[in-house]
Amino acid sequence: MGRIFRLGDDIDTDQLAPGRYMRGGIAALAAHCLETVRPDFARIVQPGDILVAGRNFGMGSSREQAAEALRYLGLAGVVALSFAGIFYRNAINLGLPVLTASDVAAVEDGAAATLDPVAGALRLAGGAAIVLDPLPENLRAIIDAGGLVPFLKARFASAATP
């Protein structure tokens, strides 16, 4: 079980990976992840926690560190009404589950839940479940492998041993 962090619309890459901390490596950067919207976020977030946001999550620059910071903090994934295109690409390729839902109004901040990217469900502790759009097969394979590079590694390794 993870904890839900509820966020609004238009969470941008500068909120996820603030430009002024970009030179310090991913650990230093992740310590400032989302601090402008949730000052305590990086301190209290636990592996398995889940972000639930509104529209256009990850808008802004093409920096991969925005998705990398969330991976580093151990987030189980992000559920949003929609994602910005380049962030979505980066998240998938770094192995961070990103799933869209048509309605997240019922999801409350601080609730306990588990994310099931395969079944396409966000299961809340009380028994209710939010239906998520299932990830297409080709993207699920990348997520399951832990990102594009591990995915390709496995693919070439199995090609080498027939």
Partner 1 sequence: MPATTLAQKIIGRAAGRSAPSAPSAVAGPVVTPGEVVTARVDLAMIHDSGGPRRVEPILRELGVGLWDRDRVVLISDHFVPGDTEEGAGILALTRAWAAENGVAFHDGEGICHVVLPERGHLAPGMFVVGGDSHSPTGGAFGAYMFGIGATEMAGVLATGEIWLRVPGTILIEWQGRLGPGLMAKDMMLALCGRLGMDGGQYQAVEYTGPAIAALTMQERMTLSNMAAELGAQVGLIAPDRVTAAYIEAAGGQPGAWQGLVTDPGAALAAHHRFDASSLAPQVAAPHSPANAGPACEAGAAVDVAYIGACTGAKYADLAAAAGILQGRRPAPGITLLVAPASRRDQDRAAREGIMGVFEAAGARILPNACGICAGYGADRLEAGITCISSTARNFKGRMGDPSAQVWLGSPLTVAASAVAGRITDPREMMGAA
Q: Binding residues for partner 1, how many (CB under 8 A)?
A: 24
User: 54 is written with which tokens?
Assistant: 């509104």
Among 127, 105, 126, smallest CA distance to 6 is for: 105
- Told to check if 158 binds partner 1 by CB under 8 A, we report no
Q: Which of 60, 51, 54, 52 is nearest to 12 (CA)?
A: 60
Round to whole Å and give the CA distance between 29 and 68. 10
Binding of residue 64 to partner 1 (CB under 8 A): yes
For partner 1, give the closer residue by CB, 36 or 93.
Answer: 93
Minimum CB separation from partner 1 for residue 4, in Å?
26
- Determine phi and psi for 77, rounding to 5 degrees: 160, 180
Does the protein bind partner 1 through residue 148 (CB under 8 A)? yes
Q: Which of 30, 73, 88, 120 binds partner 1 (CB under 8 A)?
A: 88
Quote the CA–CA distance of 56 and 77 in Å, as a whole number.
15
**Which residues lie near partner 1 (CB under 8 A)?**
56, 59-60, 62, 64, 84-86, 88-90, 92-93, 136, 138-139, 142, 148-149, 152-153, 155-156, 160
